[in-house]
Structure 1
Amino acid sequence: MTTTGEQHAAAEKGPPWWWARWRSAVLDVGLALVSAAECAVEGVPFARDAGIPLAAGIVFGLLAGSVLVLRRRWPIAVVLVSIAITPAQMGFLMGIVGLYTLAASELPRRIIGALAGMSLVGTLIVTFVRVRQDMARGDLTMGDWFVPFASITTSLGLTAPPLLLGLYVGARRRLMESLRERADSLERELQLLAERAEERAEWARGEERTRIAREMHDVVAHRVSLMVVHAAALQAIARKDPEKAVKNAALVGDMGRQALTELREMLGVLRSAEGAPVRREDVPLAAVGVAAAAAASRAADDESAADGPWLSDLDVLVGQSAAAGMVVELSVDGDSREYTAEIEQTAFRVVQEALTNVHKHAAGAKTHVRLAHRVAEIAMQVENDPPDEVATAAAARLPSGGNGLVGMRERVLALGGVFVSGPTDAGGFRVSAVIPAS
């Protein structure tokens, strides 16, 4: 169902004057009409007792009773008017409703207590005087005890119930408003947590993509670079030295198979680490989701590290580079010991990526690989001499994404280590890294 602009404007237009809802306005107007009618009827005996025209008494009653319409905005004024007309025995409904509204309002308790006490005393005095007059005229034949009894019970009956009911309703209303505000605040906090969890999930996805890209680069780039170098050498010596060409072809095949094996293992780890997608309704449980995601990521990293290379494989790595024509020396200082899988994998990848960069950018240069086992850390350094211009020009067609040094730095810094790289004074290039052993 659609609404026109005029209907929408009429729907948004609130009730007149100070009422918050139309239902409140209708209720107050209805109570004011009943109160005005009551005071008009009670104005007739008041006019007779006061010796004024009946019309004046009726008009006075109508005006006094209609003040009840102001009870929501000015409850104090309504109670004061009801107290003022109490001697005329008028405004009983206005006094009851006024006291209830006053007690349920946000006014200070001392003001509510003072006005309630004034109303109680006023009703008590007026009732006491009227009952004594009735007994004096003979309208009542009760004993003297009846005068204070009737005065007290009447004043308490007209004052205590509306006062207590108003205090209860006001306290309940304030409690509901407090609970509503607390619920709104909790909803806003949950929304903020959901947004923050989504941001963290997006950041985690980006970090995971970067990690996967870095791992793929480390696994494939070195093997493929060696394959390209061997393929170039194979092309150059295929006719001159068939025996060496067969040997190089076998090396290319072995490296290709190793690259495929490592790539297959990595893809298997990624598939096993895949979990159920994060559901939107699970976002408020941000702490559980983040902890589970972190645990899954650590499990995937541990599994990948367990299947990954070890420092004991450095001899094989250096031998592969030597077989590709690189003059490379490996030196190890200190007593070899076991490290965590993540430390060994990172150290191996740093050396591997540094050798790959030598193949790409300094082919033919003599390279020194140094590994030092220290008390609280492990250090590695790969340094090459100035490159051979002819060999470097021949290997210049090797692709380079420019992310090798960045990936090595990220790996080392993630373990709390130090990474330094840059050209040497002799014209070569040096890559150094130090990783804490624990």
Structure 2
Amino acid sequence: MTTTGEDGKGDIRALTGPWWWARWRSAVLDGCLALVSAVECAAEGIPFARDAGIPLAVGVAFGMVAGSTLLVRRMWPIVVVLVSVAISPAQMGFLLTVVGLYTLAASELPRRIIASLAGMSLLGTLVVTFVRAQQDMTNGELDMGDWFVPFISITASVGVTAPPLLLGLYVGARRRLMESLRERADSLERELQLLAERAEERAEWARNEERTRIARDMHDVVAHRVSLMVVHAAALQAVARKDPEKAVKNAALVGDMGRQALTELREMLGVLRSGDGAGVARERAEAVPLAAVRVAAAAAASRAADEGGGSAEGPCLSELDELIGQSAAAGMMVDLSVEGEVRSYAPEVERTAYRVVQEALTNVHKHAAGAKTYVRLAHRVSEIAMQVENEAPSEVSSARLPSGGNGLVGMKERVSALGGVFVSGPTDAGGFRVSAVIPAS
């Protein structure tokens, strides 16, 4: 529960005291001040009643009611000051005036209102003091020069008004400063909590990205060579009795591909053990904002792919002939055409282009064995384009290669990470086409 006073100040603290007080301690303090002020004004009401010619009981009651208004000083400081100004001609309410001005100055009221009420209190005290001193001089109670009346009037009015007013302004400014610092500390705490939550989100995203990258790298390393091994094994089974010499050749090819697959797996596992590959996405995710880390970490994942203990460069476009030769050795009819001036590219661009062609050929082995395949590579001014298209298969493959459906997704992720465009889909002739365009820089 919170409260808002008439001074416009919203108190955000929970109320634990009665009525408008935030704490019981404040209520007790105001009660004591109101009691002392009521006693003072009641005592001062006796001479006021005699001078005014009214019953003493009326003067005492009037003083007690006026002095007890200190009880509402926190809720309505304006009322307290106005009452003190109103009873100043009766020479009552010294404590009421002092405490009222202090409370008014310490409140959140506009400065012009505080200045106006303080000016009224100063003027009222000045006039009352001047009149009383003049009367004393006239009655002969004081025998001073003409300078004494204005001097005592100004001194008394300033002495009663200025100290509580200045103290209240100081306390109010200090209170606002403390509240501002508290709000700033709360804001910083919320920002730190938000940063911690975002850091946790980035870490979780990095872990997911790393798992995806490892799965994609495992797929790139294993799928192509194992697919070729299965194709060769099927061919080996078919010609084992009819053509022993070709069977021996196919067996040697299966062994070579198996050793190459084991070598690449060993290199990749070496990277994971050393932590160089496993921490790439996470380190980048924690170092930059979440919006930028998606592109940066994806590119880092593409750069980190195929890096190993002894093979830092990874596959490149110059190895396409060997890749196509392996597919041709497995019985696939592959036609490679290159357009434009051959040149070198950034390592991540060449690796991605190589992997796109490799995965496309793997898919042909899986789903269109024996179909003629066309591999086109175009070197352009600011980009490199590749297309792998196979004709409709003449028969269903007997190799029965499994497919997880992640090959095309992995290719699209690699190309998109470098700002390229990837398109795949069936052709009108019943075949399948994979196309990709990657910026050269």
TM-score range, shorter chain: 0.7 to 0.9
1:368 equivalent to 2:374? Answer yes
Aligned to 1:7: none
Aligned with residue 104 of structure 2, among 102, 105, 114: 102
Question: Partner of 1:331: helix, strand, or coil?
Answer: strand
Structure 1 stretch displaced more, 96-105 or 177-186: 177-186
Contact 2:299 / 2:417 at 8 angstroms: preserved in 1? no
The question of whether the paired residues in 2 share the 8 Å contact of 1:421 and 1:431 is answered with: yes
Query: For the structure 1 residues 426 and 288, does the alpha-carbon distance in structure 2 shift closer, same or farther, using more than 3 Å as the test?
Result: closer
1:394 is matched with which residue: 394, 398, 404?
398
- 8 Å Cα contact 2:43-2:63 kept in structure 1: yes
Specify whether residues 436 and 400 from structure 1 end up closer, same or farther in structure 2 by C-alpha distance, changes over 3 A only: same
Compared with structure 1, are the counterparts of its residues 420 and 288 closer, same or farther at alpha carbon in structure 2 (3 Å cutoff)? closer
The alpha carbon displacement at 1:278 in A equals 8.0
Do the aligned partners of residues 350 and 275 (structure 1) sit closer, same or farther apart at CA in structure 2, a change above 3 Å counting?
closer
Tell me how far apart the structure 1 counterparts of residues 356 and 300 of structure 2 sit (CA, whole Å): 22
Bigger mean CA deviation after superposition, 67-76 or 228-237: 228-237
> 1:302 matched to which residue of 2?
303
Q: CA contact under 8 A between 2:366 and 2:397: conserved in structure 1?
A: no
Separation of aligned partners in 2, 1:356 and 1:288? 37
Q: TM-score, normalised by structure 1?
A: 0.87
Q: Give 1:322's match in structure 2, choosing from 321, 324, 328.
A: 328
Q: Equivalent residue for 1:428?
A: 431
Paired letter, 1:307 = E
- Structure 1 pair 422–394 and aligned structure 2 pair: CA distance change class (3 A): same
Partner of 1:273: 277
Q: Are 2:72 and 1:70 aligned? A: yes
**Match runs of 1:164-313 below 5 Å:** 164-270=166-272, 271-275=275-279, 287=288, 301-304=302-305, 306-313=312-319
Q: 1:420 to 1:274 in 2, by over 3 A?
A: closer
Unaligned regions of 5+ residues in structure 1, if any?
Answer: 1-11
Between 318-327 and 238-247, the greater mean CA deviation after superposition: 238-247
Aligned partner of 1:336: which letter? V
Question: Counterpart amino acid of 1:414?
Answer: A
Pairing 1:120-199 to 2, within 5 Å after superposition:
120-199=122-201
One-letter amino acid of the structure 1 residue matched with residue 196 of structure 2:
A
CA shift, 1:418, in A, is 2.9
Asked if the contact 1:194/1:286 (under 8 Å) is kept, the reply is: no
The alpha-carbon distance between structure 1 residues 14 and 153, as it changes in their structure 2 partners (threshold 3 A), is: same
SS at structure 2 position matched to 1:120: helix
Deviates more, 1:230-239 or 1:190-199: 190-199
Aligned partners of 1:269, 1:301: CA distance in 2, in Å? 14
- Is the Cα contact below 8 Å between 2:391 and 2:430 reproduced in 1? yes
Contact 1:197 1:286 survives alignment (8 Å):
no
CA offset digits 1:9-61 (Å, max 9, x no partner):
xxx87322222222221111110011011112222322333333433332222
Instruction: Assess if the C-alpha contact under 8 Å between 1:231 and 1:252 holds in 2.
Output: yes
User: Is the partner of 1:307 in helix, strand or coil?
Assistant: coil
Q: CA deviation at 1:93?
A: 0.3
C-alpha spacing 1:381/1:114, structure 2 compared with 1 (3 Å)? closer
The residue that corresponds to 1:44 in the other structure is: 46
2:38–2:66 contact (8 Å) kept in structure 1:
yes
The CA deviation string for residues 270-322 of structure 1, in whole angstroms up to 9 with x for no partner, is 3323449989xxx9x87479989987876664354643111111111111112
User: In structure 2, how many angstroms separate the alpha carbons of the residues matched to 1:154 and 1:195?
Assistant: 62
> Counterpart amino acid of 1:302?
R
Q: Distance in 1 between matches of 2:149 and 2:166?
A: 26
2: CA distance between counterparts of 1:301 and 1:124? Answer: 86
Tell me how far apart the structure 1 counterparts of residues 302 and 280 of structure 2 sit (CA, whole Å).
18
Structure 2, unaligned runs of 5 or more? 1-13
- Residue pair 2:299, 2:418 contacting (<8 A) in 1 also: no
1:76 and 1:13 map into 2 onto residues whose CA distance is 22
Shift of 1:325: 1.7
Aligned residues: 420
For residue 16 of structure 1, what is the aligned residue in structure 2? 18
Work out whether 1:338 is the aligned partner of 2:344: yes
| Structure 1 residues 350 and 31: CA distance shift in structure 2, 3 A | same
Given that residues 336 and 376 in structure 2 are in contact (C-alpha distance below 8 angstroms), is that contact kept between their aligned partners in structure 1?
yes
Instruction: For residue 83 of structure 1, report the CA deviation from its aligned partner.
Output: 1.5
1:376 deviation in Å? 2.5
After TM superposition, the structure 1 stretch with the greater mean CA deviation from structure 2, 228-237 or 413-422, is 413-422
RMSD: 2.8
Matches of 1:354 and 1:412, distance apart in 2: 14
**Is the 8 Å Cα contact of residues 343 and 437 (structure 1) preserved in structure 2?**
yes
Q: What is the alpha-carbon distance in structure 2 between the residues aligned to residue 277 and residue 425 of structure 1?
A: 40
Equivalent position to 1:381, from 380, 387, 404: 387
The share of aligned pairs that are identical, in percent, is 78
Q: Shift in Å at residue 64 of structure 1?
A: 1.6
The more displaced of 48-57 and 220-229 is 48-57
Letter in 2 for 1:419: F
Is the 8 Å Cα contact of residues 41 and 66 (structure 2) preserved in structure 1? yes
Partner of 1:352: 358
2-structure distance, mates of 1:274, 1:400: 26
